[in-house]
């Protein structure tokens, strides 16, 4: 199959950005704001951080009608992380499970599993969730860690703002503009487990034009064999022109290529290929328009299966959104807009070239009743050619009896549309020589739905203690799962399916909450802890579901003795799932409770940051899921330099 033209267009656009911008000048702005680590932000600043993901406009975290967490660039830099899931693991309510040296699953409030598909992940508002396979390819995201300004995490349904797939929550990775971080940054990182990472970023402004270029490459070895598992390189570029009167037009592009491994449904799947994107943005006043194209092409193979055949797939997604916002009578913030999306997919084992066209319209109003009470309401309608229309409402209120205390209550609904695989797949492979297994989709499958109610609180006690709490109930219906329709008789072991189909099967109820405390007892010390609880049951039988850990907890201490030194200790606890079974009830590996300790030291001096760390300090050999490899101690070293 020939390469898809849009992927070559992305390469051409990157070249045009680089040539048009000229050679980088190695300068560093004197007014660049820099923090030595996250504890430079006092607790009041943490409470009043600005987010845009909750309601598609800038607001304080304390004004958000939904549970929101912001991970800052300083936290990312101080962690010495190689990838994004490593820093997400410390967000209350998120569940991060590592399956391979580079494979991760991330979801929220009891819905994590191998091949998790319930979180919408975006980069600067552009979806990077892979609709074809219903996963997020974390190791292939086209973004360098040093280009990330913040990661905003929203817990709870987000379809009212973002449509299908914003099911359990939204993760929005926000990058620096050239004006926010001018100059050049270089970083290298390595670990004793065969991991390596390197990146280079440059940004500057010349008159009305601002531009940036980034590149990042990483590699890792397999936990099981020690052989090369992942080798990925990323290139991104953007150029923007100011139009005056708060207007701007921008063009950006990126491409990621290489090899990696993932576990979409308990099966190790090796991929080799590339993903790319093109994007154009226009903004003037309250009017914003955005178009982007996501493209992917890759070969798939399964090293855990006896079949040596490879399958090739490619997919393109065009998305355009136009929206307008305004303030009415000083008390109302009004947002409305519409979007169109065209998707196409080819899969080697399917004779059909699948195309889908969907459209949406949304409206949102936030009414500041008085200085203490804010009421918000919104609704979005999406139409999908296969499953029809969806209404996704959200209503909420935020009551602030004092500027430092906020109480919120929200009801929302969301949905996840079935993917190409769940709908159109019709393939087979040999589980053993002479024993084919058929896997097929269902053209009559329906969307998954969730209805959620949540109450929450966050506030400052004095100036030294920050409290956060939330309680929720989620009702989930028509959940999609691969179901065995027929099994092989002996001599194969019992429970080996001969035929599997995707179907709407389950309805679940999840109840739980999160509670967190951060405290600054002395200027040189910050203490933190959070606890998350979720009880997940089948709505019909009331039986507890075995995939979800009931308890998660985190303890942390950050010490700043001075001289640019920072020391952080983090303890991460996860209880064992009540019924740790794999696909179709077959236990593949024990999933025990775990308590892992991470130790990180960093030194910031003269525009340089050195990080040394030990993750899983006591080398606990535990598994995050039934098909995952065992964790082990990981010694890391990272050096970043700003020019």
**Does the structure show a pLDDT above 80 at 113?**
no
Give the pLDDT confidence score for residue 310 in this predicted structure. Answer: 64
Q: Of 109-113, 227-231, 406-410, 616-620, where does the model show the most confidence?
A: 406-410
**Does the structure show a pLDDT above 70 at 359?**
yes
| 361 φψ region: left (φ > 0), alpha (ψ -120 to 50), beta (else) | beta
Give the pLDDT confidence score for residue 46 in this predicted structure. Answer: 83
Distance CA(72)–CA(150), nearest Å, equals 5
Three-state secondary-structure class, residue 39: helix
Q: Is the dihedral of CA 89, 93, 99, 102 positive or negative?
A: negative
Contact (Cβ atoms closer than 8 angstroms) between residue 470 and residue 455: yes
**Does the structure show a pLDDT above 80 at 351?**
no
Name the percent of the chain lying above pLDDT 90: 59
* Residue 10 confidence class, pLDDT cut points 50, 70, 90: very low
Arithmetic mean of pLDDT, 535-553: 88
* Cα→Cα distances 201→71, 80, 185, 446, 606, Å: 20, 17, 5, 44, 18
Give the pLDDT confidence score for residue 37 in this predicted structure. Answer: 42
Name the percent of the chain lying above pLDDT 70: 87
Strands (E), 54-195: 59-60, 67-72, 94-98, 104-108, 119-123, 126-127, 148-155, 169-175, 183-191
CATH, domain range 5-642: 2.40.170.20
Distance CA(585)–CA(495), nearest Å, equals 8
Contact (Cβ atoms closer than 8 angstroms) between residue 43 and residue 308: no
Strand partners, 640: 187, 609
Distance CA(5)–CA(26), nearest Å, equals 35
Query: Closest by alpha carbon to 65, among 455, 392, 379, 466?
Result: 455
Strand partners, 300: 271, 311
More confident of the two residues 81 and 353: 81
Give the pLDDT confidence score for residue 348 in this predicted structure. Answer: 67
**Does the structure show a pLDDT above 60 at 92?**
yes
Output the six-digit token pair for 429: 């492979």
More confident of the two residues 209 and 329: 209
Consecutive H or E run containing 64: none
* 21-62 per-position pLDDT tens digit: 333 333 333 333 343 444 456 888 888 889 999 999 899 999
Distance CA(326)–CA(366), nearest Å, equals 11
Give the pLDDT confidence score for residue 129 in this predicted structure. Answer: 81
Give the pLDDT confidence score for residue 12 in this predicted structure. Answer: 37
Arithmetic mean of pLDDT, 245-249: 90
* 518-530 per-position pLDDT tens digit: 999 999 999 999 9
More confident of the two residues 149 and 117: 149
Give the pLDDT confidence score for residue 586 in this predicted structure. Answer: 47
**Does the structure show a pLDDT above 90 at 299?**
no
Half-sphere exposure of 367 (CA within 13 A, CB side): 8
Arithmetic mean of pLDDT, 156-183: 94
Contacts with 18 (C-beta within 8 Å, 6 or more apart), sequence order: 213, 237
More confident of the two residues 626 and 85: 85
**Does the structure show a pLDDT above 90 at 240?**
yes
Strand partners, 544: 537
What is the pLDDT of the chain when averaged over all its residues?
86
More confident of the two residues 565 and 430: 565
Arithmetic mean of pLDDT, 330-344: 93
Per-state percent for the chain, helix, strand, coil, to nearest 5: 10, 60, 35
Three-state secondary-structure class, residue 267: coil
Contact (Cβ atoms closer than 8 angstroms) between residue 469 and residue 516: yes
Q: Of 20-24, 306-310, 594-598, where does the model show the most confidence?
A: 594-598
Give the pLDDT confidence score for residue 303 in this predicted structure. Answer: 55
* 182-221 per-position pLDDT tens digit: 999 999 999 999 899 999 999 999 999 999 999 999 998 8
Distance CA(569)–CA(154), nearest Å, equals 26
Out of 246-250, 308-312, 419-423, least confident range: 308-312
Strand partners, 454: 410, 472
More confident of the two residues 573 and 462: 573
More confident of the two residues 62 and 224: 62
* Cα→Cα distances 151→49, 70, 73, 75, 498, Å: 12, 6, 8, 10, 43
Give the pLDDT confidence score for residue 223 in this predicted structure. Answer: 73
Burial of 434 from C-beta contacts in 10 A (0-12 / 13-18 / 19+): exposed
* Residue 134 confidence class, pLDDT cut points 50, 70, 90: confident
Give the pLDDT confidence score for residue 424 in this predicted structure. Answer: 82
Give the pLDDT confidence score for residue 269 in this predicted structure. Answer: 67
**Does the structure show a pLDDT above 90 at 360?**
yes
**Does the structure show a pLDDT above 90 at 144?**
yes
Arithmetic mean of pLDDT, 84-110: 88
* Residue 16 confidence class, pLDDT cut points 50, 70, 90: very low
The residue with tokens 């007014």 is 31
Task: Confirm whether pTM is higher than 0.75.
Answer: yes
């Amino acid at each position: 199959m020939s390469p898809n033209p849009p992927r070559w267009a992305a390469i051409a656009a990157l070249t045009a950005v680089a040539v048009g911008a000229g050679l980088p000048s190695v300068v560093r702005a004197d007014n660049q704001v820099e923090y030595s680590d996250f504890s430079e932000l006092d607790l009041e600043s943490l409470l009043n951080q600005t987010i845009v993901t909750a309601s598609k406009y800038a607001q304080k975290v304390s004004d958000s009608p939904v549970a929101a967490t912001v991970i800052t660039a300083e936290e990312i830099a101080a962690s010495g992380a190689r990838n994004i899931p490593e820093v997400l693991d410390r967000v209350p309510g998120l569940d991060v499970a590592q399956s391979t040296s580079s494979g991760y699953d991330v979801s929220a409030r009891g819905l994590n599993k191998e091949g998790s598909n319930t979180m919408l992940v975006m980069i600067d508002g552009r979806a990077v969730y892979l609709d074809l396979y219903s996963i997020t390819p974390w190791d292939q995201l086209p973004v360098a860690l040093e280009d990330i300004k913040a990661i905003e995490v929203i817990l709870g349904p987000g379809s009212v703002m973002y449509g299908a797939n914003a099911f359990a929550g939204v993760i929005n990775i926000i990058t620096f503009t050239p004006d926010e971080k001018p100059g050049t940054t270089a970083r290298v990182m390595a670990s004793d487990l065969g991991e390596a990472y390197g990146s280079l970023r440059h940004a500057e402004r010349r008159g009305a034009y601002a531009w940036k270029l980034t590149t990042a490459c990483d590699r890792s070895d397999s936990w099981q064999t020690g052989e090369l598992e992942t080798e990925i390189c990323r290139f991104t570029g953007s150029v923007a022109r100011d139009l005056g009167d708060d207007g701007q037009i921008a063009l950006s592009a990126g491409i990621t290529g290489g090899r990696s491994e993932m576990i979409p449904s308990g099966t190790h799947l090796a991929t080799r290929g590339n993903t790319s994107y093109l994007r154009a943005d226009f903004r003037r006043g309250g009017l914003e328009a955005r178009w982007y194209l996501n493209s992917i092409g890759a070969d798939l193979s399964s090293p855990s299966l006896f079949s040596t055949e490879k399958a090739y797939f490619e997919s393109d997604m065009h998305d355009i959104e136009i929206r307008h916002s305004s303030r009415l009578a000083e008390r109302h913030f009004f947002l409305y807009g519409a979007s169109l999306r065209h998707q196409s997919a080819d899969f080697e084992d399917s004779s059909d070239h699948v195309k889908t066209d969907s459209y949406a319209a949304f409206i949102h109003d936030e009414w500041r009743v008085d200085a203490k009470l804010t009421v918000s309401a919104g609704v979005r309608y999406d139409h999908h050619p296969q499953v029809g229309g969806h209404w996704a409402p959200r209503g909420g209120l935020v009551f602030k009896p004092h500027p430092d205390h906020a109480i919120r209550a929200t009801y929302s609904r969301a949905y996840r549309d079935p993917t190409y695989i769940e709908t159109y797949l019709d393939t087979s492979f040999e589980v053993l020589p002479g024993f084919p297994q058929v896997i097929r989709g269902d053209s009559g499958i329906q969307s998954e739905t969730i209805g959620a109610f949540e109450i929450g609180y966050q506030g400052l006690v004095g100036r030294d203690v920050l409290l956060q709490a939330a309680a929720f109930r989620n009702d989930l219906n028509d959940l999609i799962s691969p179901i065995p329709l027929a099994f092989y008789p002996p001599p194969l072991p019992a429970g080996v399916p001969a035929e599997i189909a995707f179907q709407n099967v389950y309805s679940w109820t999840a109840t739980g909450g999160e509670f967190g405390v951060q405290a600054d007892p002395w200027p040189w010390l910050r203490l933190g802890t959070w606890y998350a609880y979720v009880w997940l049951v089948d709505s019909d039988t009331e039986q507890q579901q075995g995939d979800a850990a009931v308890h998660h907890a985190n303890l942390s201490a950050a010490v700043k003795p001075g001289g640019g030194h920072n020391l952080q200790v983090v303890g991460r606890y996860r209880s064992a799932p009540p019924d740790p079974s794999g696909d179709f009830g077959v236990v593949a590996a024990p999933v025990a409770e775990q308590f892992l300790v991470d130790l990180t030291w960093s030194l910031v001096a003269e525009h340089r940051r050195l990080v040394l760390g030990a993750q899983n300090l006591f080398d606990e050999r535990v598994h995050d899921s039934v098909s995952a490899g065992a964790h082990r101690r990981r010694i890391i070293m990272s050096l970043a330099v700003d020019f």
